[in-house]
Amino acid sequence: MEVGKVKRVAGPLVQATGLKASMYDLVLVGEEGLMSEVIGISGNKYIIQVYEDTGGVRPGEPVKETGAPLVAQLGPGILTQIYDGIQRPLPMLAAASGDFISRGLFVDGIDHKKKWEFKPTAKKGDVLKPGQAFGEVQEQLLIKHKIMVPPKHKGGAIKEIYAGNFNVDETIAVLEDGSKLTMMHKWPVRQARPVTKKLAPTIPLRTGQRVVDGFFSLAKGGTAAIPGGFGTGKTVMQQTLSKWADVDIVIYVGCGERGNEMADVLHEFPELQDPKTGRPLMERSIVYANTSNMPVAAREASIYTGMTTAEYYRDMGYDCMMTADSTSRWAEAMREMGSRLEEMPGEEGYPAYLGARLADFYERAGRAEVLNGGQGSISVVGAVSPPGGDFTEPVTQNTLRMVKVFWALDSKLTQRRHFPSINWLDSYSLYDQILEPWFIENVSPDWNKNKRRAMNILQENAELEEIVMLVGSDALPEDQQITLEVARMIINFWLAQSAFHPVDTFCPYKKQFDLLAAILKYRDYAFEAVQRGISVAEINSVPSKDALAKVRLEAEYEPILAKILAQMDVEFKALK
Amino acid sequence: MTKEYKTITEISGPLIFVEKTEPVGYMELVEIRTGGEMKRGQVLDSSDDIVVIQVFEGTGGLSKDTAVSFTGDVIKMPLSPGIVGRVLSGSGKPRDGGPEIVPEVLRDIAGAAINPASRGKPRSFIQTGISTIDGTNTLVRGQKLPIFSGAGLPHNDLALQIARQAKALGEAESFAVIFCAMGITNEEAQHFLADFERTGALERAVVFLNLADDPAVERILTPRLGLTTAEYLAFDLDMHVLIIYTDMTNYCESLRQMGAAREEVPGRRGYPGYMYTDLACQYERAGIIKGKKGSITQFPILTMPGDDITHPIPDLSGYITEGQIIVSRELHRKGIYPPVDIRPSLSRLMNSGIGKGHTREDHRAVSDQLYAYYAEGNDLRGLAAIVGKEALSERDKLVLEFADKFEKRFVNQGRDEDRSIFDTLQIGWDLLADLPEAMLTRIDDKYIKAYHPKYAASAAKK
Ligand SMILES: Nc1ncnc2c1ncn2[C@@H]1O[C@H](COP(=O)(O)OP(=O)(O)O)[C@@H](O)[C@H]1O
Ligand SMILES: [Mg+2]
């Protein structure tokens, strides 16, 4: 392995000579051995991005090759971890260097000393294929970790296989050709892990958020973008989804965002319960925290590291969800590196390959038949932080070309404290049609009908509001005044949902459906009353209407809602 | 000390290019001697044979045979408890006629990132006595909450009022204040200093002054010095530190100037592409650390060029800080002080600092309800201007009136009026009580029963 020399240092970028490394190889820069990656080779000049702060590094210092690209360590012990962008466990860094992150520390992604009980699921003589599982480890109380032949290993017949307690470096199986298998393997993070076949997503990913599940639903294995200016609710939405989504594994990537938000996740997730299993959320979570003030090169890497661990659990047959907050910071890291490399900039200074990188990333999502047989999925939710909240900028536009669900955050709604501030007219889900049968079969035959009715009311409302702006609402015909009122109910009683209300933070499908159905019921009563010549003022002041406002805040809502509906029937019959 | 070079090959704006033979570290501190004066600089680009240096005190007076020496170390700030009460320049030199700081420790001013796993959760309510902050955009200890303002608006008065009144409920301890001025006028600076002196805050303050006529490049150092001091006071000496820096817009202009001098590919509107990261490296130096007593709370002030919140400086700041307090020209024109527009304002850490055990259980609901009707009332003003107030429905008229009263009674307060959080909530309830109870859709019934003046009064009578 060669040792080269630093020729130039400027920010996170170093130039060196005297190397033989390949593109994207990991190298160690300077006396302190800073983790770095080769990102350009021209003649004998190597351009290297350093994952750590470069202050004090001098020309002439050594650059050591490692002979391998940046890899993730994959094996039991990843769950519950909190990593920086290059899979260094942050608590280990704190143990090594205190409360402030210092540099030149090398820490393994998983614990190499810990013993796990390995239970073989294959036996001597079985022939293993690449990616095939041959045993398992109980990684968390409810999560089994499948031990698989590394996808690039050619596999073969098992000569010996051992049950018992091992660490991740110890041999647990030997194949006929003499190759030894352990519970861990490494995988280059920039490379997608192979699957047998990609499948179409047909099952919704339940989030417990009415505007998402009810209007713009995401599928398991689907992709969604949530763009919005600062303070419009990207982070809260990603955290809420990470809490309540009905997936097996959550990968939360804090990419160039706030330290306190990460601290929040770390404080909350161990305390909160997964609604599906009742176990602490942390047990199913992996957190990457490369905050805005941590090195940009590691920020750039964090998206890939996160995705690689997601793929690894998908390969075990799990449904995974990865949230990335924010993909814009990732794109900016690329831009920063690109401009230091003096590459020809594309739109707004972003590198010309921005679109391609985003595409590669979202392509790694999806539902798939995995090498081990069976199915797994990775759903991806990417936050986008457009400058000035303007969606015409390159990152938003390139992202929208890739993803199938668009949750458009709207700062006008934020200013009214309407949360989630997802604009109901601009947003869309291209999984709509595909998921319809599932909802009909599993929730209600009327699910889709009601959804479309509600959306039409909101559409009509938007048109009416323009007229109101010119003439005032009293000038509208009575049925249209009712429509305005019903739209207001859908918006305030149903679409609005506080992530911080102990009950309303999560709304099951049935409740979503019942609440909306009740509002639509009111609409039918109201229209019928208008036909009978009852005044709008009278209709709008039936007490049961106001009572609908807070049903969403009740956990045991069913008897309450039934009572309100019964009362509504009485009240409307009484209107003469 | 290392070798001295007289090999400047180029001087370009704030930059000098120096040929040298020994290896020089990136970000290394450089001393530049000219006449009797010593200037300081920092290495921005280091190659085998040449380095690029930014000179903090400006390149005026430098020539090709000026002596340059490399110190072999990055820039460090001398710190000791004696720094409290001192007035320093924007590059950390005494400005009060006092002696140099005798260091107990030297700290790299770049500051390392707090390990996210070591961060404590900020959750202690700070009462500022200002309703638009305490009631609807609550500040907590360890938060970074900037004031976004415009030229000529009373943001300085607001910042001073906060610095004067801020206290954690039920604790006698007051904040140590660090004040960093970057490119503000002498008059503005005196305004701050006089107020600190009047209230005795100066005794527990450290002041860094880079004024409008001081070198612009020095401004790049100022917040770093202030924050390094803040970390020392908070995490070595266990103090609760409030750091005010003004004006971040001037800081960013200096960054832009440096970028232009280095002929970098500019990002949006000419500001460097790395400005987000650079600002984050300042703003993120707020917070609390598990197991440590002290805290750093930041109040950066920035004036939005052209009152435009989408300008890169407020935009990037808003993406990093934990909310923003918006000072509005429109409210200022109406004679309302503090002219805080709550609609675009936000405190992201409010939730963890309010409610039962912090302020009061109904706080969140009251705040949400106030927001909803103030925002709606504001929208209705536009409508009323077109169709006339009479054309509005009864409900809309009530909401419109609510917005007016909200500005006069909740937003507006005296420059020395220090409202308790309970006073603030009471004003909120009094305003909401003018609306029919059925309109209070954001408030749980149990809070209405407990705090609505209608019930509270009868509860008191019993
Ligand atoms: N679903 C929600 N329910 C209640 N409050 C919300 C919700 N979403 C956002 N908020 C409020 O908005 C603030 C900003 O949201 P955040 O997700 O941090 O914005 P962004 O990440 O887009 O900058 C939060 O601190 C919170 O007060
Ligand atoms: Mg965010």
DSSP string, B145-210: --EEE-TTSTHHHHHHHHHHH-EETT-----EEEEEEEEE-HHHHHHHHHHHHHHTGGGGEEEEEE
> Which member of A260, A339, A417 has the closest CB to residue B287?
A260
Establish whether residue A234 lines the binding site of ligand 1, counting it when its CB lies within 6 angstroms of any ligand atom. yes
Instruction: Assess contact for A57 and A103: CB atoms under 8 A.
Output: no
Reported as half-sphere exposure (CB side, CA atoms, 13 A), residue B449 has a value of 3
pLDDT of residue B400: 96
Instruction: Assess contact for A48 and A36: CB atoms under 8 A.
Output: yes
C-alpha–C-alpha distance, residues A250 and A241, integer Å: 9
- Nearest-CA residue of chain B relative to A541? B438
C-alpha–C-alpha distance, residues B59 and B52, integer Å: 13
Check CB contact under 8 Å for A58 and B268: no
Nearest atom in ligand 1 to the alpha carbon of residue A238 is 17
Q: Cβ of A288: how many Cβ atoms within 10 Å?
A: 28
pLDDT of residue B200: 87
Check CB contact under 8 Å for A291 and B116: yes
> Which member of A263, A411, A475 has the closest CB to residue B116?
A263
Establish whether residue A261 lines the binding site of ligand 1, counting it when its CB lies within 6 angstroms of any ligand atom. no
* Residue nearest to ligand 1 atom 27, measured at CA: B348
Check CB contact under 8 Å for A468 and B383: yes
- Say yes or no to pLDDT of B175 above 90: no
Tokens 């704190």 sit on residue: A94
Establish whether residue A254 lines the binding site of ligand 1, counting it when its CB lies within 6 angstroms of any ligand atom. no
Burial class (CB in 10 A: 0-12, 13-18, 19+), A573: exposed
| Helix (H) or strand (E) segment spanning residue B88 | strand B87-89
Q: What is the whole-number distance in angstroms between the Cα of residue B310 and the centre of ligand 1?
A: 19
Span B201-225, mean pLDDT? 92
What's the longest Cα–Cα distance across chain B? 89
- Say yes or no to pLDDT of B461 above 80: no
**CB-based contacts of A392, cutoff 8 Å, min separation 6:** none
* Residue nearest to ligand 1 atom 17, measured at CA: A233
C-alpha–C-alpha distance, residues A334 and B204, integer Å: 43
Burial track A90-103 (b if 16+ CB lie within 10 A, e otherwise): bebbbeeeebbbeb
Q: Which chain A residues are closer than 8 Å to B235 by Cβ?
A: 99
Cis peptide before B338 (omega within 30 of 0): yes
Q: What is the mean pLDDT of each run of 10 residues along chain A (576 residues)?
A: 91 93 93 92 92 92 94 97 95 94 91 97 96 97 96 96 97 96 96 96 96 97 97 95 95 94 90 89 95 91 97 98 96 87 84 95 97 97 95 96 97 92 97 95 96 98 91 86 95 95 94 98 96 92 90 95 97 92
**B17-50, pLDDT tens digit by residue?**
999 988 999 999 999 998 888 899 999 999 999 9
- Say yes or no to pLDDT of B272 above 60: yes
Instruction: Assess contact for B430 and B410: CB atoms under 8 A.
Output: no
Tokens 């200037």 sit on residue: B39
Nearest atom in ligand 1 to the alpha carbon of residue A257 is 21
Residue A99 tokens, joined? 């409360």
Q: What is the mean pLDDT of chain B?
A: 92
Q: What is the whole-number distance in angstroms between the Cα of residue A414 and the centre of ligand 1?
A: 8
Q: Which chain B residues are closer than 8 Å to A415 by Cβ?
A: 343-344, 375
- Look at the alpha carbons of A188, A189, A191, A193 in this order and tell me if their dihedral is positive or negative: positive
Instruction: Please choose, from the candidates B216, B222, B241, the residue with its C-alpha nearest in 3D space to the C-alpha of residue B180.
Output: B222
- Say yes or no to pLDDT of B459 above 70: no
Burial class (CB in 10 A: 0-12, 13-18, 19+), B426: middle
Establish whether residue A236 lines the binding site of ligand 1, counting it when its CB lies within 6 angstroms of any ligand atom. yes
3-state secondary structure of A461: helix
Shortest alpha-carbon distance between residue B242 and chain A (Å):
17
Shortest alpha-carbon distance between residue B150 and chain A (Å):
17
pLDDT of residue B338: 97
Establish whether residue A260 lines the binding site of ligand 1, counting it when its CB lies within 6 angstroms of any ligand atom. no
**B304-332, pLDDT tens digit by residue?**
999 999 999 999 999 999 999 999 999 99
Tokens 């003096």 sit on residue: A342
Burial class (CB in 10 A: 0-12, 13-18, 19+), B187: exposed
pTM exceeding 0.90: yes
Report CA-CA distances (Å) from A527 to A97, A492, A547, A560. Answer: 69, 20, 19, 24
pLDDT of residue B303: 96
Residue A173 tokens, joined? 């199986």
Shortest alpha-carbon distance between residue B392 and chain A (Å):
6
Check CB contact under 8 Å for B74 and A101: no
C-alpha–C-alpha distance, residues A237 and A217, integer Å: 14
- Look at the alpha carbons of A90, A92, A94, A100 in this order and tell me if their dihedral is positive or negative: negative
pLDDT of residue B2: 66
- Say yes or no to pLDDT of B462 above 60: no
> Which member of A91, A100, A335 has the closest CB to residue B112?
A100
Residue A293 tokens, joined? 């003030």
pLDDT > 70: percent of chain B? 97
- Nearest-CA residue of chain A relative to B284? A293
Establish whether residue B409 lines the binding site of ligand 1, counting it when its CB lies within 6 angstroms of any ligand atom. no
pLDDT of residue B37: 85
Q: What is the whole-number distance in angstroms between the Cα of residue B129 and the centre of ligand 1?
A: 24
pLDDT of residue B460: 60
Nearest atom in ligand 1 to the alpha carbon of residue A229 is 22
Choosing from A211, A236, A268 the residue with most ligand 1 atoms within 8 A of its CB, the one to mutate for a pocket test is A236
> Which member of B115, B312, B391 has the closest CB to residue A93?
B115
Report CA-CA distances (Å) from B86 to A260, A290, B201. Answer: 31, 36, 12
Q: What is the whole-number distance in angstroms between the Cα of residue A227 and the centre of ligand 2?
A: 10
Establish whether residue A100 lines the binding site of ligand 1, counting it when its CB lies within 6 angstroms of any ligand atom. no
Report CA-CA distances (Å) from B337 to B39, B153, B199, B375. Answer: 44, 10, 21, 19
> Which member of A53, A54, A260 has the closest CB to residue B119?
A260
C-alpha–C-alpha distance, residues B282 and B137, integer Å: 22
Span B194-213, mean pLDDT? 91
The complex's ipTM works out to: 0.92
3-state secondary structure of A366: strand
- Nearest-CA residue of chain A relative to B445? A550
Q: Which chain A residues are closer than 8 Å to B24 by Cβ?
A: 58-59
| Helix (H) or strand (E) segment spanning residue B212 | none
- Look at the alpha carbons of A59, A60, A66, A67 in this order and tell me if their dihedral is positive or negative: positive
DSSP secondary structure, A18-87, as one string: S--PPTTEEEEETTTTEEEEEEEEETTEEEEEESS--TT--TT-EEEEEEEE-EEEESTT-TT-EE-TTS
Check CB contact under 8 Å for B26 and A348: no
Nearest atom in ligand 1 to the alpha carbon of residue A326 is 21
pLDDT of residue B386: 86
Instruction: Assess contact for B118 and A99: CB atoms under 8 A.
Output: yes
Nearest atom in ligand 1 to the alpha carbon of residue A325 is 21
3-state secondary structure of B15: strand
